[in-house]
Structure formats: structure tokens, C-alpha cells
Structure 1
């Protein structure tokens, strides 16, 4: 098993390094480093398909895992690509990185893009564990994983949809979205994204060494809470609408959904 594990991991790493190098080159004429997010999202289905096609695991279970990742990552990647096309400008956190780095920005972005490639390979360990398991039996772990996956995919799609509808209304310019899922969590999209990784870990727990799969949701939670998720997103929000966003912070949970502490002024309480 471990020979196949390291061999397929090496293949996956080469694929992701090449993909991110291509996107890094492309970001110069586009003048938009936000495409790294698209590459991150679409790279995961690419790894899942690679592992399912080349791994020695049970075909039905391997391709079920691949389908789970394709549907999740394909939707997310498409959503991010459409947002870049629609807005036509680089996301705020990447503009801040340019301002902070000042010199050798291109080289630093190359390291950043390749760090995302490495992150994809690490996160894809649960996919690989499933695709290395030759046993045909399905277990309760697989059923639990599929059920939670459905909740995660639907929840993240709904959160993205609610925010997109809010932003399209000119009357909401400069305001903070506090409707629907966004009244229960300041980052419901991140919460359901993390829930996807919990679902994947559950599904992979039925495979040998399945406990390793739980490193992925733990790693993703760390990045969302402390690195590339909530901190830069909230810094951007505070820089453009500080007073309104601080009030939103006082009312609404940062990550795990819960009822808001009080009703936003002028808006009904939603669930």
C-alpha cells in the first residue's frame, strides 16, 4: 500500500506543480492573482480523478469519492472563476499582498502559488486512501460521509448564492450581507467548505489508515480560522465598512452557525 501511496502522491504533486506554474504565468497578463483560488479548487477534482484512475482500490468506491470531489470542486471553481470574470479586478487580499511585499512580487507569488499546490496534495490524502483500498465492502462510514457531503455541498452553494444575490442589488452597496445563512455565521461559505472535508474524512475512515484522513479537516480548519480564510476576509471588510462590520461581528458568530445575538437594525430575524 505504501509504495502505491508515495508513487501516486508524487504523481499528484507533479500535476499540481505544473498546474500552478501555468496559472502563475497566466496571472501576469491577467494582472490578477485571484486565479490561484480557481486552480486550488479545480486541482482537487483533478487529483481525485488521477487517484481513482490509477489507484488499485475498489472502482465503485474510488469513483464515488471522485464524483463527490468533482461536484464540490467543480461548482466552487466555476463560482470563483465567474466572480473573477464578473468583477474584473483582483481580490482585495491579493492587492494587499502586493502592497506588503513591494519587491520581487512575481517571485513571491510563485512561492504562494506553489504553496497552494502542496496544500492540495496534502488535503487530497483522504481521496488517495479510498483509492488504495481494494476491499469491495461498504461500511457505515461511507454512508455517513455521503450524507454529510450532501449537506455541505448544498449549504455552501446556498451561502454563495445568497451573497451573490445580495451584492447584485445596487441598494446594498456598502452594506453588510446579514440575511439567510449570513445572519447565523459571518462566513457560512467557509463553514460548509470545512464540512465538506469532514464528510470526506468520514468517507475515508472506512479505509485502512483512515484516521489519516482527519488531518485534512484539521488542516483546513486551521487555514480558514487563522491564515487564508477569515483573517484576510475580515480585514478587507473592516477596511471598507468598519462601523457596520464591527456591529456585524458583535451580533454574529464568526464561523459555527448560531442564532444572532440581536436583530440587525431594519432587518427581520432570519433562519
Structure 2
């Protein structure tokens, strides 16, 4: 187990090196790109396309090959927490970057805060193991597509993630291509980002504690608690999703404030995808016999995403039934 964990940790730490080495080489040579390095000249003039190119080869192709070799697509989940940090630093350090220093520093700091929160939650949930398992949705698709999964996984797991991640990080590009002075909208966006991160952190922590308590009860052959409806989960069935969405929509406000409001499209698509995931998660809950009835009552009384007071009328019906 320790050897397996060390191997996956090594792979995860080494896998972004091709993109990092290439970008550093580009930074060192961009000044004479037009004369001696025509490809570097293209990289200089097309920062957004270059980000997509690096993502395609280093994530879509390389991660996919590793996933085929290991028969496990675990790494894309981990790198969901890392790629936005890499992108924000990429946009900030690109030679064409035109930025307000304060806005850039705040967004970089907030992105690191978001990443640390999500990375910690990932490893805590995975019991501090690297690549122990892949996302349950990938497992279901693996069974669904059978022998065709090897090539379908390239599009379903990796290429689709490029669309989502590059799209949702569009505000980071806008922020580093405009030097408009900091104003009240930036302050509002920063506060909303922090609130979103805090809500997601506490929601994930409450969920983790709930799962741990149930695991201890199972070990004691004691009845488990069928549903989490305390703390933030009393006011929302998915407060972690709400916090995550608040973070991304607040980030989009930064882009809107520098005149690139259309870049909310990536955030909007991500919200639609998360809405679909919400449906899948709730269907999965209802398939578990020991918690189905409790979860149905929970659905009737509690808001889906946006925290709100529980329905007293529906609660009373649930209690009387």
C-alpha cells in the first residue's frame, strides 16, 4: 500500500513538468521570438490558445494515457484543485499580461485559498491516499460503456474537463489582460469569494465528520444516522455545492468589472453540470434503502442549493407520518 501510494504521488508531482518546462523556456526566449522562434512568436501573441494547447497535450493526452495504463482515472479529480492555480499564474506571468497589481494579487491569493481548501478536502476524503479510487461517476460509465470505455474516457473524462476548467477560469484571463483600477465591485467580488470558500469548507467538514461518525457506528454494529441535516445541511441539501458556486460566480464578477462580462459563460456551464450532478447524487441517495425514506423527507423540507429556512409545514407532516 505504501509503495502504491508513493508511486502515485510521484506520478502526480511529475506529470505537469512538461508544461512548466515549456512555459519557462518560452518566457526566457519570447524577446527574440519573432526572429528565431516562430512558434514562440505564436505563443506570445495567443496566450489563451497556448493555455488550451498545453492543457490538451499535458492533461487530455498524458493523463488519459496514464489512466489507461493504471485502469484508473483518479488524477483528474486531484488536478481539478491544482489546474486553476496553474492557470492564474500562467495568465499573470505571460509577457502580454496587462494587469492591475492589486486585483491580480488578490485573485491569485484567493485562488490559492480555494485550492488549499479543496485539496485538503480531497485528501481527507481519500484518507490521505494518492489515487486509491476514481470518481464513482467514472466507475458507472466504465460499466456502462464496457470495452469502448478506453476511447470514450478520453472525451468523457479529459477533453470535457478542458472545456469546463478553461471555461470556468476565463475570468482569470480577463483579470490579467486589463489594468482597470481596483474599485468597489472588486471589493464586493473578493468578499463573496471568501464567503463561498468558507461555506464550502464548513459544509465539507460537517459532511466528513458525519461520514466518520457513521463509520465508527458501523464498527460497533450500532445503527447509523441515515441523513445529515445539521449545521449548514439543515438549510441546504448541498451547501458545499452552493459555496463552490458562490466562489466561481464571484470570480466572474471580477471579469464583468473589467468589461468582459460574457466570460460568465464558463461559470454558467459549470453550474448546469453541477445541477446535473446534484440530480445524480440525490438519485444515488434514494437507491440506498436504509436512508431513502429519510432522504425523501429531507428533500421535501430543505432547499436544494441556496441556504434557506426549512419548511415548517412539511417538517410537521414528515414528523406525523
Distance 1:101 1:211 in 2: 39
Please name the residue that 1:134 is paired with: 179
Please name the residue that 2:117 is paired with: 75
Offset of residue 165 of structure 1: 0.6
Judged with a 3 Å threshold, the aligned counterparts in structure 2 of structure 1 residues 196 and 219 are, in CA distance, closer, same or farther, namely same
Judged with a 3 Å threshold, the aligned counterparts in structure 2 of structure 1 residues 79 and 31 are, in CA distance, closer, same or farther, namely farther
Q: CA RMSD in A?
A: 2.7
Work out which of the residue numbers 9, 12, 15 in structure 1 matches 2:54. Answer: 15
Please name the residue that 2:262 is paired with: 212
User: SS of the counterpart of 2:287?
Assistant: helix
Offset of residue 4 of structure 1: 9.4
Structure 1 residues 182-191 or 171-180, which shifts more? 171-180
Offset of residue 161 of structure 1: 0.4
Work out which of the residue numbers 165, 182, 192 in structure 2 matches 1:148. Answer: 192
Distance 1:42 1:264 in 2: 45
Offset of residue 186 of structure 1: 1.0
2:281 corresponds to 1:233: yes
Structure 1 residues 138-147 or 88-97, which shifts more? 88-97
Structure 1 residues 250-259 or 59-68, which shifts more? 59-68
Work out which of the residue numbers 179, 182, 189 in structure 1 matches 2:230. Answer: 179
Please name the residue that 2:16 is paired with: none
Offset of residue 36 of structure 1: 2.1
TM-score by length of 2: 0.73
Judged with a 3 Å threshold, the aligned counterparts in structure 2 of structure 1 residues 231 and 21 are, in CA distance, closer, same or farther, namely farther
Please name the residue that 1:115 is paired with: 160
Structure 2: runs of 5+ lacking an equivalent: 1-41, 218-222
Distance 1:264 1:49 in 2: 52
2:145 corresponds to 1:94: no
Judged with a 3 Å threshold, the aligned counterparts in structure 2 of structure 1 residues 51 and 121 are, in CA distance, closer, same or farther, namely same
CA contact (8 A) 1:141 1:204 kept: no
Offset of residue 176 of structure 1: 1.6
Work out which of the residue numbers 68, 78, 85 in structure 2 matches 1:45. Answer: 85
2:84 corresponds to 1:84: no
Offset of residue 6 of structure 1: 7.6
Q: Rg larger in 1 or in 2?
A: 2
Please name the residue that 1:196 is paired with: 247
Q: More relative contact order in 1 or in 2 (CA 8 Å, sep 6+)?
A: 1
Distance 1:204 1:62 in 2: 12
TM-score by length of 1: 0.85
CA contact (8 A) 1:187 1:255 kept: yes
Judged with a 3 Å threshold, the aligned counterparts in structure 2 of structure 1 residues 29 and 179 are, in CA distance, closer, same or farther, namely farther
Offset of residue 80 of structure 1: 1.9
Distance 2:297 2:194 in 1: 33
Offset of residue 60 of structure 1: 3.1
